[in-house]
Amino acid sequence: MERSIAQLLQLESFTKSEIVELLSSDGEDKVQLFKKSAAVKEKYVKNKVYFRGLIEFSNICEKNCFYCGIRKTNMHVRRYNLSDDEILHAAKFAFDNNYGSIVLQSGEIQSPVFTKRIENLLKKIARFSGNKLRVTLSLGEQSYKTYRQWFESGAHRYLLRIESSNPELYKKLHPNDELHRFERRLESLKILKDIGYQTGTGVMIGLPFQTLENLADDLLFMKNFSIDMVGMGPYIEHADTPLFQYRQMLLPKEERFQLALKMIAILRIMMKDINIASATALQAIDKLGREKAIKIGANVIMPNVTPGYYRDDYALYENKPCTDENPEDCISCLEARIALSLNKIGFGEWGDSAHYNNRMGKTETNQDI
Ligand code: SAM
Ligand code: SF4
C-alpha cells in the first residue's frame, strides 16, 4: 500500500528509500515536509540563528578539487593571504559586534609554518577576547598532531565537508592522487571527533553524476557518524574548473536550490539537535536563499567579515554573493532579512551544537559573552 508523505513524516527515522521519496517531493507534499522540519526546529533548537563571522583569510591552496574556483592550477586567480593583523582585525570586528564565534577558512596548506601560524593566531584571539569567542577552523585535511595542536590552542569546532559520502562519486570530483583520497578525508573527520572538536561536515548538492540515492546516503552518513554540525549547499559551476565540462548534466539552478532546501529539512527531522548552517551558495542562486533555509531548519549563518577588497578573489563558484560589500553592510542587510524570517539572532551567545553537548554529557555552555 502506498504511504502518503503525511504518514512518512510521522516517522522518527527514515530508510534510504524513504529519504529518496522525500527528496522527490513536490507541491503540497514539499510544503508539508517544510512545515514539519520548521516545527522540529522550533521544538528542539528554537527559532534562533547564530552568527559566525567568516574570515576567508587566504585563497592559496595546494589541492586541485575539480569543482573549486580557487584550485591550485587555476591561473586566473589573483592569490592573496591576509596578514595576521588583518585577520585579528576581522576577528575583533566580529567580537565587537557581539557574534559568539568566528570561522577561519582558507585553501589547504599542510606545512609546519602554516600550523604554527594558525596556532599563534588562535592564542592571540583567545587573549584579546578573554576566551569568549568560539573559533571554528575550516582548513582541510591535516595531521593528527596539527589538529591536536590547534585544539589545544583554542579551536573548538572544525568543518570538513566530506563533499560526497560515496567513494566512487568522490573519485570523479577529485584528481586520483595521494592529496585527494576519500579514505583520508573520512579518517580526518574521525580524528577530529576523537580529539573532541565539535565536528562538522557537509556535501555539495546537485553535482554532475550525483543521484538522489547518493544524497540519501549522505544524510544517513551524517546520522550514523553522529555529526554535530552540517553545512551543505548547492554545487555551483565555475568556468575555470574541470567539472564545468559536465554542466549539461546539471539540474537548473532553481531545482538545485530546492533540492538543497529539502536536504536541510530532512536532515533537521533526522538530527533534531545539531547545528545546520545556511550555506552561502544558497544565496548565489536566490537572494533570500539563506533566509529560506533558516525558515525550514537551518540555525547558523556565516556573515562574511573578510575585508571587502579581498572577497572577489575567494571565488569558489560563479555569482558568489556579497563580494562587493564591506562587513558593516553585510550585517545590516542580514539582520533585516532574518527579522523577516521570524527568527531571533543569538547575539552574544556561542551557539554550541546541542548535539555535541548531549553526546559529551555536557550541560548548556551557550554562555552570554
Ligand atoms: N580548503 C578547505 C576544504 O576544502 O575543506 C576549506 C575551504 S573550501 C573552499 C570550502 C568548501 O567550499 C568545500 O568544502 C566545498 O564543499 C565548497 N565548494 C568549493 N567549490 C564549490 C562549488 N563550485 N560550489 C559549491 N561549493 C563549493
Ligand atoms: Fe582547495 Fe578546498 Fe577548493 Fe579543494 S575545495 S581546491 S581544498 S580550497
Residue of 161, 256, 313 to test ligand 1 pocket, by largest number of atoms within 8 Å of CB: 161
Rounded Cα gap, residues 165 and 185, in angstroms: 10
Considering the domain boundaries, does residue 8 fall inside one? no
- 368, pLDDT greater than 60: no
| Rounded-to-integer distance, Cα 129 and Cα 134, Å | 10
Q: Is the CB of 121 under 6 A from ligand 2?
A: no
* pLDDT tens sequence across 300-327: 999 999 987 778 788 888 877 766 566 6
- Whether 83 maps to a domain, the answer reads yes
Q: Where do runs of H (alpha helix) occur along the chain?
A: 5-8, 16-23, 27-45, 84-96, 112-129, 144-152, 167-173, 182-195, 212-225, 253-270, 280-285, 289-296, 308-311, 327-340, 354-359
Give the nearest ligand 1 atom to 316 CA: 20
Average pLDDT, the chain: 93
Tens-place pLDDT, residues 126-183: 999 999 999 999 999 999 999 999 999 999 999 999 999 999 999 999 999 999 999 9
Q: Which atom number of ligand 1 is nearest to the Cα of residue 108? A: 1
- Residues across the chain: 369
Each residue's pLDDT tens digit, 16-26:
999 999 999 99
10 Å CB burial of residue 159 (0-12, 13-18, 19+) is buried
Regarding the beta carbon of 108 and ligand 1, being less than 6 Å apart is answered yes
State which H helix or E strand residue 105 sits in. Answer: strand 101-106
Within a domain: 4:
no
User: What pLDDT is recorded for position 369?
Assistant: 46
CA distance 91 to 306: 9
Is 9 domain-assigned?
no
**pLDDT value at position 322?**
67
Higher pLDDT, 60 or 310: 60
The CA distance from 265 to 235, in Å, is 18
| Cβ of residue 310 lying under 6 Å from some atom of ligand 1 | no
Within-domain flag for 326: yes
Evaluate whether residue 3 is within a structural domain.
no
Is residue 320 lining ligand 2, measured as CB closer than 6 Å?
Answer: no
Percent of the chain with pLDDT over 70: 92
**Is 63 touching ligand 2 by the criterion CB < 6 Å?**
yes
CATH number for the domain including 124?
3.20.20.70
1, part of any domain:
no
Cα 232 from Cα 260, distance rounded (Å): 8
pLDDT, average across residues 329-357: 79
Q: pLDDT at position 325, please? A: 62
- For residues 182-201, give the mean pLDDT: 98
137 lines ligand 2 (CB under 6 A): no
Rounded Cα–Cα distance for residues 169 and 54 (Å): 29
For position 3, what pLDDT does the model report?
A: 83
Q: Residue 129: its pLDDT value, please?
A: 97
More confident residue, 281 or 313: 281
- List, for residues 11-50, the tens digit of each pLDDT value: 988 999 999 999 999 999 999 999 999 999 999 999 999 9
Q: Residue 165 sits in which domain range?
A: 14-360
Look at residue 85 in the predicted model and tell me its pLDDT: 97
CA distances from 244 to 64, 67, 235, 238 (A): 14, 8, 11, 6
Contact 107, 61 (CB under 8 A): yes
Q: Count of domains in the chain?
A: 1
Q: How far is the CA of 65 from the centre of ligand 2 (A)?
A: 6
Of 2-11, 316-325, 326-335, the range with the lowest mean pLDDT is 326-335
**Can you tell me whether residue 44 is helix, strand or coil?**
helix
Any atom of ligand 1 within 6 Å of the Cβ of 107: yes
Quick one: pLDDT at residue 191?
98
| 329 has pLDDT over 80 | no
Contact present, 28 and 1 (Cβ < 8 Å): no
Question: Is the C-beta atom of 147 inside 6 A of ligand 1?
Answer: no
Cβ 316 under 6 angstroms from ligand 1: yes
343 C-alpha to center of ligand 2: Å? 32
Residue nearest to atom 8 of ligand 2 (CA): 107
Ligand 2 atom closest to residue 107's alpha carbon, by position in its atom list: 8
First to last CA, the chain: 54
Residue 351 domain flag: yes
- Judge contact between 306 and 56, C-beta under 8 A: yes
What is d(CA 315, CA 324) in angstroms, rounded to the nearest whole number? 12
Q: Is the Cβ atom of 250 under 6 angstroms away from ligand 1?
A: no
C-alpha distances out from residue 260 to 66, 230, 233, Å: 21, 12, 6
Q: Is 69 in the pocket of ligand 2 (CB under 6 A)?
A: no
Q: How confident is the model at residue 366 (pLDDT cuts 50, 70, 90)?
A: low
Contacts of 167 (CB under 8 A, 6+ apart): 182, 183
Q: What is the pLDDT of residue 323?
A: 63
Ligand 1 neighbourhood includes 180 CB (under 6 angstroms): no
- Among the ranges given (38-52, 253-267, 323-337), the one the predictor scored with the smallest mean pLDDT: 323-337
Q: Whose CA is nearest to atom 2 of ligand 2?
A: 107
- What pLDDT, on the 0 to 100 scale, is given for residue 308? 77
CB 183 within 8 A of CB 211: no
* pLDDT at res. 102: 97
Residue 299 has pLDDT above 80, yes or no: yes
Strand partners, 157: 136, 198
Going from the Cα of 163 to the center of ligand 2, the distance in angstroms, rounded, reads 11
| Atom 8 (ligand 1) nearest CA | 107
Q: Please compute Rg for the chain using Cα positions.
A: 19
